[in-house]
Amino acid sequence: MSDTKNVRVRFAPSPTGKLHVGGARTAIYNWAFARATGGTFILRIDDTDPTRSTDENTQVILRAMRWLGLDWDEGPEVGGDYGPYFQTERLDRYREAAERLVAEGHAYYCFCTAEKLAADREAAAARKDSFQGYARTCRDIDPAEAKARVEAGEPYTIRIKVPLDRGDVVVRDAVHGDVTFNARELDDFIIFRSDGTPTYNFATVVDDAEMGITHIIRGDDHLSNTPRQVIVYEALGAPVPTFAHISMILGADGKKLSKRHGATSVEEYRDAGYLSDAFVNYLALLGWAPDGESTVISRERLASEFSLDHVSKNPAIMDPKKLDFINGEYLHAMDDQAFADEILIPELHAADLEPAGECLHEEAWYDMLAAALKPRTTLGPQVVEQAAYLYTADNELEYDEKAVKKWLAKEGARKALDAAGEALAGLEDWTPEAIEAALDPIPEQLEMGKGKVFQPIRVAVVGSAASPGIGETLALAGKEHVLARIERAKELAS
């Protein structure tokens, strides 16, 4: 691993939209690397795109980061010694840095118009020149002349002066190893536009240099930007950080993750009912693994064991089924009371099955329901459908057609319901154990299989053939409702 002394990393999203899965994983890796090395995690808002960056989008990103539990040590709402942490508040710094590079001979004013640049490109293409970048027309203009033209109000850009004798740019990448770029293919690229705004490759380097960033962990779609950024670091006289370009996240079809693959933003997953810890766990494993075996990795383990040495250079595949499995593992690990308080009751309120702020039952009832539903739940909202039979009027319960055909319309179902109704009517102790004890003798008495006895009862009470154990199912529904539903189902039974 590269040197991890005094690690400073940053996550620098542009507030041009929601925080998507790829950005969230990048944030997780930066956060985890900082925590594992005892370093500093910085959140910076790269909001220099005036047409798309909005304060509303910034707030969306901050909400997503808080939901993910990725606390930052420096940045918005926290402050720090290297602020401000919004690029729009750092424009003077970029201007000063660019002018310093001009004064030191590492950059120059360029007065070429868009028409001139287009004509030069066409001519180079026609000649089939090996180098078709900027022709460096303004590179050797006398500095005094250039300054006079600027002061006279002539439009200009500022270009970096790539050393003509610069050898290959070798990027030291913690994921990909050494990546070599031919410096001769780099033109003198613009660092300041004619409208007075810095380019991305300049502003991000100025910020990273001033903020003392030691490691840059980001998506490998930025790898092609890196040689230009290295040139800027060298021009500024700043140390070049260690880079770690992580793979793209692809859909199951091998294409870049997009809306056609389903949800892409963090808040969509939050709203779908995923737990923050499970979501962070899953995204962390998209390209990193501590041992090649673990599936459930706690936030604490991630923060102590994460290392760039175990990050894969291969693209990661978004697998919704694995995400569901991991989320289920986290739900199943909760105790019944926590599941009831944090998942079950909030979902019942959200679905308007219970009035907001109120609970219609005793605490023990919710704990019993939690114990019954938790093993059958991989996403929080699933409890609503599973518990719906408990919030439906007896005469409004809808029956699943297939379940009716398979269990109620079969010979013997009426006898099973009659026997069940009789056995349960005299039951005073309405608990799962007592209910099961009352029903257990019926199959032998009727000389029928257990399924042919218990499934008609289940369909009668729930409306379908799927539910938790028969004892819990009936105990939760309540004696009065169970008996009423059994009587109603007899009309459909054979």
β-partners of residue 109 are: 158
User: 282, 289 in Cβ contact below 8 A?
Assistant: no
- Indicate whether 295 pLDDT > 50: yes
Q: Maximum Cα–Cα distance for the chain, whole Å? A: 108
> In angstroms, rounded to a whole number, what is the distance separating the alpha carbons of residues 298 and 89?
37
Sheet holding 107-110, edge to edge: 107-110, 157-160, 190-192
pLDDT of residue 4: 63
Mean pLDDT across the chain, nearest whole number?
Answer: 94
> In angstroms, rounded to a whole number, what is the distance separating the alpha carbons of residues 236 and 372?
63
* Unique residue bearing structure tokens 């030191």: 104
Least confident of 149-153, 292-296, 483-487: 292-296
pTM, two decimals, is 0.91
Per-residue model confidence as pLDDT tens digits over 104-129: 999 999 999 999 999 988 888 888 87
pLDDT of residue 181: 95
pLDDT of residue 1: 44
Can you spell out the DSSP letters for 378-443? SSTTHHHHHHGGGGS-GGGPPPPHHHIIIIISSTTHHHHHHHHHHHHHT--S-SHHHHHHHHTTHH
Per-residue model confidence as pLDDT tens digits over 313-343: 999 999 999 999 999 999 999 999 999 999 9
Per-residue model confidence as pLDDT tens digits over 52-110: 888 899 999 999 999 999 999 999 999 999 999 999 999 999 999 999 999 999 999 99
> In angstroms, rounded to a whole number, what is the distance separating the alpha carbons of residues 31 and 215?
12
pLDDT band at 244 (very low <50, low <70, confident <90, very high): very high
Q: Which amino acid is at 417?
A: L
Query: Interhelix angle for 363-373 vs 470-477, to 10°?
Result: 150
Per-residue model confidence as pLDDT tens digits over 398-447: 999 999 999 999 899 999 999 999 999 999 999 999 999 999 999 999 99
> In angstroms, rounded to a whole number, what is the distance separating the alpha carbons of residues 355 and 391?
12
* Unique residue bearing structure tokens 């795109």: 49
- Indicate whether 476 pLDDT > 70: yes
CA 295 to chain centre: 17
- Indicate whether 2 pLDDT > 90: no
pLDDT of residue 211: 98
Q: Which of 237, 242, 245, 197 is nearest to 220 (CA)?
A: 245
Sheet holding 177-181, edge to edge: 177-181, 169-173, 242-246, 215-219
Angle at CA of residue 199, ends 219 and 202, nearest 5°: 75
Q: Bigger pLDDT: 125 or 470? A: 470
pLDDT of residue 53: 83
β-partners of residue 249 are: 316
H helix and E strand count, the chain? 22, 11
pLDDT of residue 262: 62
pLDDT of residue 120: 87
What value does the mean pLDDT take over residues 249-276?
84
- Indicate whether 225 pLDDT > 80: yes
pLDDT of residue 337: 95
Torsion of CA 73, 76, 77, 78, to 10 degrees: 20
Q: By CB neighbour count within 10 A (0-12 exposed, 13-18 middle, 19+ buried), where does 353 fall?
A: middle
Catalytic residues: 259
pLDDT of residue 258: 67
pLDDT of residue 301: 96
What value does the mean pLDDT take over residues 30-52?
93
